[in-house]
Structure formats: structure tokens, C-alpha cells
Amino acid sequence: MGKDDDDRDPSRGISRRGFITTVGAGAIGAATIGRAVAAPPPEVVAHGEPAPLTLRVNGRAHRVLVEPRWTLLFVLREQLGLTGTKVGCERGECGACTVLIDGQPRYACMTLAVEAKGCEITTVEGLMHGEELGPVQQAFVAEDAFQCGYCTPGQVMAAEGLLRANPAPTPEQIRLGMSGNLCRCGAYDHIVRAVERAAAVRRTGGGR
């Protein structure tokens, strides 16, 4: 009987020495593979540390330093001075902070500034032609679609987004499209008429 025969496990048909050698080689191979495919750790921005960000607002590029936690609402007002976008509930309920992001109405209070990177942002200031009001703004004035006026910028932006998507909405579609914007003064009937008026002006070529 040889030495290898003494080390052989009769139930498995392999020597103990061979088994240990095989397991050891496998462990080394696994460790080597693990090192080869390991991804580098992601870059982490320290809490509260500003980072550079370029935002395109009303057709212009703005380079700003922002903290990752800052909302688009905060950056528009406090960093860029575009105060037409109003601070309301700050939890996505009232719509006073509505802006357009790539043509779609969005609550700026519920959107991080970094989320808007690479997008086209339009605020109520961006609807004007110099000192002249845009067609939706003019329609709100003509139909007396506000009282205190605080919610009006958000209402105007919601209406603008609606008309870009649907140039000829029905009254029901207008009410649905504007339902995310609250008016504490209760000027809803006037708001619907203002959107209808703006739609008609656009169809006759009187606005963008």
C-alpha cells in the first residue's frame, strides 16, 4: 500500500492531499477574479459641499455652485434671482412654483436642481418678449384670472405647458390640466376662460 493510498478517502475516490490542493487553488483563483472585477468606489460629495452645475434657463446657460440637496425652486430664486417662481407649500401641493422642464409642467419645489441638468427650464419670466407679456399672460389679465395674484405665475406656467401639449383643449381638459394648481381666491372660472382665450389667440397666430 503506497502513501497516496493511505491519504485516499474511500467514500469520495480522491486523496486528502489532492482535495486540499484543489480547494486551495480554487480559493486563490476566486480571490484573483474578485480583484480583477472590483469597481472603484463612487465619488462622494461631502454633505453640504457645493458642486458646479450648469442650468439652461429661459434660453441661457447659467453656471452655479449648488448643494446636492437644493431644490430647483431655491436655485432659481436665490441663485439666479428669478423670483417669478413662487414659494408656496414646498411639498408639491399648491403649484405656485410650477415651471416647465423640457416643455412639461413640473413643481420646482419637488425637483432637485441637479435633476434639471441638461434640460431646458422655462420660468414665467421666459414667456415675455422683452417688456411685453406673452399670450397666456395677456389672457390672464384680459379675463381677470387672479385676485391676490400669488398663484398666478404657477397657473400661467401650467396653462403654457397644457397649450404646448394640446393647442385646442376642451373646458374639461383645461380643468384637468390645471387641477394641480390651487387658487385660494377661487378664480377658477376666470382661469378656465383665460386658458380658452390664450388657446384661441395661439390658433390665430397671435402667440408662440
For the segment 33-73, what is each residue's pLDDT rounded down to a tens digit?
444 445 556 555 556 689 999 999 999 999 999 999 999 99
Per-residue pLDDT at 163 exceeds 50: yes
pLDDT value of position 28: 44
Are 117 and 141 within one domain? no
Residue 133, C-alpha cell as written in the block: 407679456
Per-residue pLDDT at 27 exceeds 50: no
Are 132 and 142 within one domain? yes
Mean pLDDT value across the chain:
86
pLDDT category of residue 19 using cuts at 50, 70 and 90: very low
**Domain limit, last residue, from 60, 92, 127:** 127
CATH number (domain holding residue 83): 3.10.20.30
The better pLDDT of the pair 115, 10 is held by: 115
Per-residue pLDDT at 123 exceeds 50: yes
H or E stretch covering 110: none
Sheet strand arrangement including 98-101: 60-66, 51-57, 120-122, 98-101, 104-107
**How far is Cα of residue 200 from the mean position of the Cα atoms in its chain?**
31
The better pLDDT of the pair 95, 31 is held by: 95
Q: What is the CA radius of gyration of the chain?
A: 31
pLDDT value of position 32: 42
SS3 106: strand
Domain with 150, as residue range(s), is 128-208
Averaged pLDDT for residues 115-139: 97
**Domain limit, last residue, from 74, 106, 127:** 127
pLDDT value of position 205: 80
Report how many domains make up the chain: 2
Nearest residue to 70 via CA among 89, 96, 47, 86: 47
